[in-house]
Amino acid sequence: MTESAGVWLYAVAGPVDAAALAGLAGVGGSAVRAVAAGGLTAVAGDVDLAEYGEAALRRNLEDLDWLAATARAHHRVIDAVAGQGPVVPMRLATVYRDEASMTTMLARQAAGFRRILDRLGTRKEWGVKAYLAGRPAPGPDAGTGAAYLRRRQRQLAADREGRREAAASARAVHAELSGYAADSRCHPPQAQQLSGERAVMVLNAAYLLDSGRAEDFARAVAALADRHPGIRLELTGPWPPYSFADTEEPPG
């Protein structure tokens, strides 16, 4: 290790098969290894602080291409570990100065990590997004003056009503889906410019599901979509339990 090397922490887990990490490319294409500490496994890899140190990270995190590649690499490793058993994902850009400071942290906070691992178990996260369903565009503008104004006012009133209904539908969907989940979280709506989605997002939720619940959950989402034509639903997953890793005080 050179002086400019740091340690990127992907996740903390129980026992991890080192062979499963051998072929994985981590952030920046770096190797991934399992480090035992405090009876747990830190899944980590060496990174160059010239690219992943504090100043460089602040700059690089604002570069969308860099952010995308790094986020996908971080996820790739966590997803591989999640395939083996319970995992506590770390937030993106958790970088230690050296392995010793990482293992010291892990040993000190092992009890907290074990609590989170026990709670998450083999549960997976599923995402459900709801959008205001597209309504037919108004026909070609035939009238003028007062007729146009009346039609425009009706249109605006209908839009307002549509949004109210969509918000109510989103609440109903979230309430029902939460019944299937061990836990649930609502993320802020996604920025339209970043998602490329033109429709207004009215729900961006995550659900922590027991391993046997995924099919029932997907059926419930489909049924809810039929019952709420004012919104369009999208299901994503399974995800490692990112949104539920930090639902109690940080370990330690």
Partner 1 sequence: MSTPRAPAPPDTERIALVDLLDRVLAGGVVLMGDVTLAVADVDLVTVSLRALVTSLGTLAGPEDRR
In the region spanning residues 157 to 186, those forming contacts with partner 1, defined by CB under 8 A, are: none
Task: Report 56-75 residues binding partner 1 (CB under 8 A).
Answer: 57-58, 61-65, 67-68, 71-72, 74-75
Integer Cα distance of 183 and 125 in angstroms: 9
Is residue 121 part of the contact set for partner 1 (CB under 8 A)? no
Task: Report 138-157 residues binding partner 1 (CB under 8 A).
Answer: none
CB-CB neighbours of 109 under 10 Å: 16
Options 18, 91, 118, 154; binder of partner 1; rule CB under 8 A: 91
Please identify, among the stretches 33-41, 147-155, 157-165, 214-222, the one whose residues bind partner 1 according to the rule CB under 8 A.
214-222
Options 127, 132, 184, 213; binder of partner 1; rule CB under 8 A: 127
Is residue 3 part of the contact set for partner 1 (CB under 8 A)? no
Q: Which residues of 175-203 are buried (b: 16+ CB within 10 A; e: fewer)?
A: eebeebbbbbbeeeeeeeeeeeeebbbbb
CB-CB neighbours of 173 under 10 Å: 23
**Beta carbons of 20 and 9 less than 8 angstroms apart:** no
Integer Cα distance of 222 and 180 in angstroms: 14
The residue among 144 and 193 lying less far from partner 1, judged by its C-beta, is: 193
Cα angle 55, 61, 63; round to 5 = 115
Integer Cα distance of 250 and 109 in angstroms: 9
Is residue 79 part of the contact set for partner 1 (CB under 8 A)? yes
Integer Cα distance of 200 and 230 in angstroms: 12
Is residue 15 part of the contact set for partner 1 (CB under 8 A)? no
The residue among 150 and 187 lying less far from partner 1, judged by its C-beta, is: 187
Task: Compute φ and ψ for 217, nearest 5 degrees.
Answer: -65, -45
Options 161, 190, 211, 216; binder of partner 1; rule CB under 8 A: 190
Number of residues that bind partner 1 (CB under 8 A): 78
Q: Specify which residues 209 forms β-bridges with.
A: 124
- In the complex, what is the shortest distance from the CB of residue 196 to partner 1, in angstroms, rounded to a whole number? 6
Is residue 137 part of the contact set for partner 1 (CB under 8 A)? no
Options 12, 13, 32, 203; binder of partner 1; rule CB under 8 A: 12
Is residue 135 part of the contact set for partner 1 (CB under 8 A)? no
Is residue 96 part of the contact set for partner 1 (CB under 8 A)? yes
CA–CA distances in Å: residue 146 to residues 90, 139, 143, 154: 60, 17, 8, 12
The residue among 145 and 188 lying less far from partner 1, judged by its C-beta, is: 188
